[in-house]
Amino acid sequence: MLAPNEQRAAFAILLHAALADGANSDSERAALRRMTESFSPGDGASFNPWSIYQEVLGGRYPLEAAARDLSRPEARILAYEMAAGVCDTDGPPNAAEREFLQRLHGLWQLSGGPTATEAAAAPLAAAVPAATPAGSTAAAVPAPRLTPVDAAALEKSILNYAILNAALELLPQSLGTMAIVPLQMKMVYGVGKAHGYALDRGHIRDFLATAGAGLAAQAVEGYARKLLGGVVGGLLGGGMLGGLGRAAVGTATGAGITFAATYAIGHLALRYYGGGRRMETAVLKDTYQRLLEDGRRLFSTHQGDIQRRAATLNPAEVINLVRQT
């Protein structure tokens, strides 16, 4: 367990990693802001993530200072692993993210080859196709469908993804946390494909960010739960994910938040692409929040399924699940 000052520094590094992507949209940053702003400093944690977000964004807590505040080798390795996981959220790191990781690696003079997180990044990134070139209309017009959409099968698939992702939250390995967002993207890709849309990472990232489910914010929140335990885990989900987790802590909280988020994302995609991508931004956001509440209510019904699924998972299977088409 990290000391309070180490927790603060590690959380700042997670934020720096999320903000390192020069392509981050305003909606992605808004999701990250909501996630940190929802934390209540009076709930017993050792620091206020919202104030750290302000310090990081305002340049008052630069990466170099956060790196200095982590002096123990094991704390540095843990923080680097999680920072790499955040950078790998929606595919291989871009140039800005690679430069950030190199800076962090150099500040700590880390030695050795790729970390476990970096070694897993390539197969996890294969969940959905890479972004299409600028100006492409590949995902703008659906291809003709030769067979009717099987809505019942898609709904069952979404529930299975929600159970699987919640089960990943129960695993002690950071690989489980790292796989959640790629699996959510793969789920959306499958829903879009079923409706004739050839989606890529860029389209899926923008769709989720517009709805309020920013990928960077989800990644930071997931790693924060692993890093800081139940205190922050139960609180960071409060504003961003519809008030989930306030009455629970630890891995159970993470599982509930992730189940609801995955369920909501899947059903939002089902409505959005099934309706021909005709949904105004305000309606998209409101629908996502209402679907989160539906997912929260369903979580208790499927807790046994989640626990049984977690008992069968291992790191090799997690990677294979992401890579399977």
DSSP-assigned letter for residue 300: G
Q: For the segment 303-320, what is each residue's pLDDT rounded down to a tens digit? A: 999 999 999 988 778 878
Is it the case that residue 62 has pLDDT exceeding 80? yes
146 or 81: which carries more pLDDT confidence? 81
Higher pLDDT, 239 or 285: 285
Q: What percentage of the chain reaches a pLDDT higher than 90?
A: 42
Question: 130: alpha, beta or left, given left = phi > 0 and alpha = psi -120 to 50?
Answer: beta
Rounded to 10 deg, the angle between the 151-169 and 303-312 helix axes is: 70
How far is the C-alpha of 307 from the C-alpha of 255, rounded, in Å?
A: 10
Angstrom distance (rounded) from CA 232 to CA 48: 9
Quote the pLDDT of residue 216: 84
Given a cut of 60, whether residue 231 has pLDDT beyond it is no
What average pLDDT does range 263-285 have in this prediction? 94
Task: Check residues 64 and 173 and name the one with the higher pLDDT.
Answer: 64
pTM over 0.85: no
Q: Are 250 and 239 in contact (CB under 8 A)?
A: no
Please give the pLDDT value at position 43.
42
At 239, the pLDDT band (50, 70, 90 cuts) reads very low
Please tell me which of 38-52, 100-114, 115-129, 133-147 the model is most confident about, judged by mean pLDDT: 100-114
Residue type, 268: L
